[in-house]
Amino acid sequence: MDKLIIQGGSRLNGEIKISGSKNSGLPILAATLLADGPMHICNLPHLNDITTMLALLRCMGVDVTIDEKMCVEIDPTTIRDFEAPYELVKTMRASILVLGPLLARFGKADVSFPGGCAIGSRPVDIHLRGLEAMGAEIEVDGGYIRARAPKGLKGARFLMDKVTVGGTENLLMAAVLAEGTTWLENAAREPEIVDLAECLVAMGAKIEGIGTDQLEIQGVKQLHGCTYSVMPDRIETGTYLAAAAATGGRVKLRATRADILEAVLLKLEEAGAKITVGEDWIELDMEGRRPRAVSLRTAPYPAFPTDMQAQFTAMNAVSEGASAVVETIFENRLIQTHELNRMGAHIVLEGNTAMIEGVEKLKGAPVMASDLRASASLVIAGMVAEGETTVDRIYHIDRGYECIEEKLQMLGANIRRVPG
């Protein structure tokens, strides 16, 4: 099992390119099942989760090829199997996203209950209740969701009692081929959902209210293939910005967008960062200063994202002053604070709140990643620590960050990957 070895003390400085969004690419890959012809998806990141989703499509018989420009061509007309098996689904929660498209296009789906990061309860009951409202017959049997819609799905009005990104994506993909009109209320508004909706529109879907919590979908008979480029990864962007802020450095990130990261950029400015943005780039400069502590509370978009909480917790650990970080989305997502304390951080957990007293420096130590974003926070901590830090179980980080050690090396970090 690979590890990352980090020698702390370097200020990040330089320029890197941001990859395409994993959290956008995964549902868009699932959406290709809805097309009646080949799809070309570009700007996909080279990540384990993307590879797993492509493997899942292949195991269903879908023809998947990668061209010389690293665009993926997917021909769903070759599909011959409608099952998402446990062997593939167990490593990646996003596998559940094939449920809606399979049911809408082919009237049947057998999907194993998903796995993924151990960050708390993420039930799929809203997905299932929404599909049942659209006329699906669903049975849970032997760890599998077995769904059938022999007469097709019908439009319905469905209120999600909790904001759910995956639930919104699954029901949106199911609704585009359902007969009649579907209204999804209290829908998630994340930029990745906007990206999925715009891809579906490019395929011929009729969707109103994109970017709001009220989606109106007029079902169509069929969707056609198209070429679509996945949006930049806002969490990768935010992670490198937070790392630069923690180290007192300066970075310019290309091929990204500031408009999908407003809550994070505001908090970085509060921490003392000088931020400049262009059409497809963001520059952060701490001018050598230590960051100021910033309190924050996670909440659904457009508020501060839960996927950036761990990185800011690490930054706050070496900031000037005290802060409170409140996690409202996932109950186990402050788990990385125990590892940060092993490195000399002063963090006290009170329920879903981390009370942080900033220290001038952390001390290098062997630490273990528990989930994807916790891994990133430990890498940031290692870069601001005295001495050597070893981050173990980095298979988590490889699920969400493309070539993280190479990109950090380009920014001047002393980091290397070693076999476990």
Identify whether the C-beta of residue 305 lies closer than 8 Å to the C-beta of residue 298.
Answer: yes
Helices (H) and strands (E) in the chain, counts: 13, 26
**What is the DSSP code (8-state) at residue 79?**
-
**Cα dist from 5 to 190, 327, 367, 410, whole Å:** 34, 29, 10, 16
Token representation of residue 94: 């996003």
Identify whether the C-beta of residue 93 lies closer than 8 Å to the C-beta of residue 164.
Answer: no
Compute the residue count for the chain. Answer: 420
For the residues of 104-158, what is the DSSP string, one character each? HHHSEEEEEPP----SS----HHHHHHHHHTT-EEEEETTEEEEE-TT--B--EE
For residue 27, say if its preceding peptide bond is cis, omega within 30 degrees of 0.
no
Token representation of residue 225: 């293939």
Question: What is the SS3 assignment for 101?
Answer: helix
CA separation for the pair 209, 272 (Å, rounded): 36
Name residue 247's beta-bridge partners.
none
Q: Which helix (H) or strand (E) holds 4?
A: strand 3-7
Identify whether the C-beta of residue 306 lies closer than 8 Å to the C-beta of residue 273.
Answer: no
Identify whether the C-beta of residue 205 lies closer than 8 Å to the C-beta of residue 226.
Answer: no
Token representation of residue 313: 């917790």
Q: Where are the beta strands (DSSP E) in 187-287?
A: 206-208, 214-218, 227-229, 250-254, 274-277, 281-285
Angle at 126 (CA atoms; ends 124, 130), nearest 5 degrees: 125
Token representation of residue 97: 């996203």
Q: Is 117 part of the annotated catalytic residue set?
A: yes
Pick the catalytic residue from 42, 59, 71, 117. 117
CA separation for the pair 336, 199 (Å, rounded): 35
Residue with tokens 């209290």: 186
- Residues serving a catalytic function are 117
